[in-house]
Amino acid sequence: MRGSIRIGSVWGVAVRAHWSVPLTMLLFAYGLADRTLPAYTPGLASVAYATAGVVGALLLLVSLVVHEGAHALMARRAGVPVRDMTLWALGGMTRMDRPTTARTAFAVAVSGPLASLLLGGAAIGAAAGVHTTLGWRLPVAVLGWLGATNVLLGVFNLLPAAPLDGGRVLQAALWWRTGDRERAQRAAGRSGQIIGIALAVVGWLTLARGVTGGLWLMIVALFVATAAAAERRWAQLALALRGVRVAEAMTSPVVTGPDWLTVDRFLSDVAARTRHSVLPLLDFEGRPSGVVQLRRLMAVPPGQQQALPVRRLATPVSRCTLAAPDELLTAVLERLGAGGGLPVLVMDGAHLHGIVTAHDIQRLFQRHTTCKNHGTAANGGGAGRQGIAA
């Protein structure tokens, strides 16, 4: 996720934090110190509330790491490669390859909410123990809040709405029952859109009654509905590209340009010979060194184009997505998050064999949609004629 930095690792998996995490933790700490803790333990010094609020927010952050770590650990035990975990304003996200079986997908999805529920139960139990043995009301309030928040997090994540964990559980169950992953993903995405809309309505009604928490619920609902729609689109794309190899989708031969040319020379000598908006660059030895977007070159002021090398504006090959011609296109697209996204540079050894752009993928998708619609129309007509004949 853009705007995130690495803060450590858990079980060998990198943990990253989005810039929104400190802001969210600050809001939680403020809410604890200003409202929750004074209501439960009145009469204490402000510094005590502030300290306890910060401790509670940090413990919640650790809880989120444990939640995502449970996903990562279960995935690694099942042989699914895990890239990293990222914490952000609305929780966390663990990037990994897609599980190869419905059973694995179910185990990975359910592990996070179970970890949160276990943490919640442990925190509530600890609060009860501290209250019985020591009677310290401030730690009891912090532990009780932490336990309730983790239980709420676990229950909320079990809602059958992609991209929540419950949506992944639903998808795994439907995948196991139907044997069709994309169909199951579309169903989970549709469920996510419905639940997202329902949560938005509840949030709006809550906000209309003067409860500010309704605004937060509306934000979460918007995220769920938007991400669920993306899940459905990806499922449709994966269905359209099922079985397609990279070599079938790539543009080849592809126009390339030397990375040492200045911007003005590149625009006049290279870009003028192609209609592509993104072009690969080659170094002195003829190896790919990156890709450059023509709109970035066109944005350079004319007075600077003669002195600026085009490689200064390029995305280096280390941040590009690379693929072999015989790879499945869907498997490559799943790796886009780990690389620089589209376009995909198709490599035959150390040499550039072709390129896959967003236009190439859109062309394949439209072809599949057209063929499917024509096939449906033909089958429908046949069924109609059979009915008349009968």
CA distances (Å), origin 261, targets 274, 279, 312: 17, 13, 10
pLDDT average, residue stretch 281-308: 88
Based on the fold, state whether residues 21 and 85 are members of the same structural domain: yes
Is residue 252, in this structure, part of any structural domain at all?
Answer: yes
Domain final residue, candidates 209, 240, 271: 240
Based on the fold, state whether residues 48 and 28 are members of the same structural domain: yes
Based on the fold, state whether residues 16 and 151 are members of the same structural domain: yes
Is residue 164, in this structure, part of any structural domain at all?
Answer: no
pLDDT-wise least confident of 187-196, 231-240, 253-262, 328-337: 328-337
Is residue 378, in this structure, part of any structural domain at all?
Answer: no
Based on the fold, state whether residues 339 and 198 are members of the same structural domain: no
Helix axes of 181-208 and 165-178: crossing angle, nearest 10 degrees: 150
List, for residues 26-42, the tens digit of each pLDDT value. Answer: 999 999 999 999 998 99
pLDDT average, residue stretch 152-162: 93
Maximum mean pLDDT: which of 166-175, 214-223, 316-325, 366-375? 166-175
CATH of the domain at 252: 3.10.580.10
Sign of CA dihedral 186, 188, 192, 195: positive
Long-range contacts of 24-31 (CB under 8 A, 24+ apart): 24/89, 25/57, 25/58, 25/60, 25/61, 26/57, 28/53, 28/56, 28/57, 28/60, 29/53, 29/54, 29/56, 29/57
Based on the fold, state whether residues 250 and 236 are members of the same structural domain: no
Domain final residue, candidates 240, 263, 283: 240
Is residue 165, in this structure, part of any structural domain at all?
Answer: no
pLDDT, position 339: 45
pLDDT average, residue stretch 213-241: 86
Q: Which amino acid is at 77?
A: R
Catalytic residues, by residue number, are 68
pLDDT average, residue stretch 90-105: 88
Pairing of strands 315-316, 13-18: unpaired
Based on the fold, state whether residues 119 and 90 are members of the same structural domain: yes
pLDDT average, residue stretch 175-180: 92
Q: Number of folded domains in the chain?
A: 3
Is residue 389, in this structure, part of any structural domain at all?
Answer: no
pLDDT, position 214: 86
pLDDT average, residue stretch 122-147: 93
Based on the fold, state whether residues 21 and 149 are members of the same structural domain: yes
Domain final residue, candidates 203, 224, 240: 240
Is residue 386, in this structure, part of any structural domain at all?
Answer: no
pLDDT, position 198: 94
Is residue 196, in this structure, part of any structural domain at all?
Answer: yes
pLDDT-wise least confident of 72-86, 205-219, 283-297, 366-380: 366-380
Based on the fold, state whether residues 197 and 274 are members of the same structural domain: no
pLDDT average, residue stretch 152-178: 93
Average pLDDT, the chain: 86
Where are the extended beta strands (E) located within 174-287? Answer: 257-258, 278-282
- Provide the domain limits for residue 324: 246-359
Based on the fold, state whether residues 348 and 253 are members of the same structural domain: yes
pLDDT, position 374: 56
Q: Is the pLDDT confidence value at 338 over 70?
A: no
In whole angstroms, give the CA distance from residue 57 to residue 149.
Answer: 11
In whole angstroms, give the CA distance from residue 166 to residue 92.
Answer: 15
Is residue 366, in this structure, part of any structural domain at all?
Answer: no
Based on the fold, state whether residues 224 and 258 are members of the same structural domain: no
Q: Which amino acid is at 267?
A: L
pLDDT average, residue stretch 178-188: 90
In whole angstroms, give the CA distance from residue 66 to residue 115.
Answer: 7
**Per-residue confidence band for 379, with pLDDT thresholds at 50, 70 and 90:** very low
In whole angstroms, give the CA distance from residue 358 to residue 364.
Answer: 10
Sheet of 257-258: strand order equals 257-258, 278-282, 288-293, 315-316
Q: Which amino acid is at 93?
A: M
Based on the fold, state whether residues 222 and 89 are members of the same structural domain: no
In 3D space, the residue among 61, 49, 53 whose CA is nearest the CA of residue 18 turns out to be 61
Based on the fold, state whether residues 200 and 108 are members of the same structural domain: no
Report CA Rg, the chain: 26
CA 47 remoteness from chain centre? 39
In 3D space, the residue among 105, 101, 47 whose CA is nearest the CA of residue 75 turns out to be 105
pLDDT average, residue stretch 114-136: 94
Q: Which two tokens stand for residue 80?
A: 């699914």
> Please, are residues 94 and 75 in contact by the beta-carbon 8 Å criterion?
yes
